[in-house]
Amino acid sequence: MKLAILDDWFDTLRGLPCFARLDGIDVTIFTDHEPDVDRLAARLQGFDAVVLFRERTAVTRELVEQLPDLKLISQRSVYPHIDVEACTEHGVLVCSNMSGGVSHAAAEMTWALMLAALRDIPRQMESLRAGGWQTGVGKSAHGRQIGILGYGRIGGQVADYADAFGMKAVIWGSEKGRARAAADGRIVAASREEFFATSDVVSLHVRLKPATRGMVTAADLAMMKPGSVLVNTSRAGLIEEGALLDALNAGRPGMAAIDVFDEEPISWANDPLATHPNLIGTPHIGFVTEDEFEIQFADIFDQVVAWRDGAPINMINPEAAAS
């Protein structure tokens, strides 16, 4: 069995304890990203299975049609980057564990970005390194209101952090999410307008899917306080295209702290959003910790081994297994 692992940029996976689960399998790890479909197809000729590193590579119909030997794609969580219909038509089984606990790495990253924005840490560091001293006055988290959009596992964890920091956590989201928050004793905003207008920090914790794409609109951002902070460690597509840059230019919100961008990785200089003076940006590292990788790839490698042994698990398109 020949297995390709894509987009392991820092060659991290072979150093994880769970990598031993692939003993006996012919594994090739690619540490670069190949965006060209034809070159990627040429690279993957002869492989029986592919492991995806989150959504770093899209599996399109055009790609699948050029991989006659491919029989398995193993990954974890949601799969908007995979053309499942094309995979099924070509006998490619997609396995993805959709369960799991809280991503503490993502929740911690949310909190790190929020604190960095409130205390203006990047600019203070730049001043110190340039031989200067204090560049302004920050804001305390304690006593302020954080609006959490989306009350799932990560949103709930962020709300718990807010409690520890003495912040007022206010929830908005789907009707079901608001009901869960209320049942947990959380404060639920009276309206969407109140949620955006009264929060000192708004943090997004919603899965990106067709129904949620662009759910945060320019009008929502325009209601935010001039001194407020928008935090996004979920997906860039949750915000209406172009709205965040326009909002920062207009001063509402006053700052944004984001880990996700419309196109990743950013491969050009002077991106107007990434380099905006009122934006703190990180290159989608919310899940990039050794601890999180061990959790995720243990599941992914188990799926590979189960398929090799003729008992596939976590099948998204089981009909492909019968073809």
> Is 142 among the residues known to form the active site?
no
Same domain, 92 and 109: no
Same domain, 301 and 271: no
Same domain, 111 and 11: no
CA distance 108 to 321: 38
Same domain, 86 and 135: no
pLDDT of residue 101: 67
Same domain, 55 and 150: no
pLDDT of residue 99: 79
Using a 10 angstrom Cβ sphere, with 0-12 exposed, 13-18 middle and 19 or more buried, the burial of residue 34 is middle
Same domain, 208 and 121: yes
> Is 81 among the residues known to form the active site?
no
CATH label of the domain that carries residue 89: 3.40.50.720
Across the 323 residues of the chain, what is the mean pLDDT of every consecutive 10-residue run?
96 97 98 96 98 95 98 94 97 92 89 98 96 96 98 96 98 97 98 98 94 97 98 97 98 98 84 95 94 95 98 97 76
pLDDT of residue 266: 82
Domain that holds residue 299: 2-100+289-322
pLDDT of residue 270: 86
Same domain, 149 and 224: yes
Same domain, 114 and 244: yes
Q: What angle do CA 116, 201, 205 make, to 5 degrees?
A: 95
pLDDT of residue 263: 86
Please report where in the chains the tokens 């990253």 appear, as a residue. Answer: 109
Q: Which of 186, 235, 240, 252 is catalytic?
A: 235
Residue 266's alpha-carbon distances to 17, 169, 260, 283, in angstroms, are 31, 33, 10, 8
Same domain, 78 and 109: no
Q: What is the DSSP secondary-structure string of 37-48?
A: HHHHHHHTTT-S
pLDDT of residue 185: 98
| Dihedral, CA of residue 57, residue 60, residue 64 and residue 67, to nearest 10 | -40
In sequence order, what are the residues at sequence separation of 6 or more whose Cβ sits closer than 8 angstroms to the Cβ of residue 175? none
> Is 89 among the residues known to form the active site?
no
Same domain, 239 and 262: yes
Same domain, 116 and 235: yes
- Number of compact structural domains in the chain: 2
Same domain, 130 and 198: yes
Q: Which of 85, 264, 290, 319 is catalytic?
A: 264
Q: Which of 90, 180, 205, 284 is catalytic?
A: 284
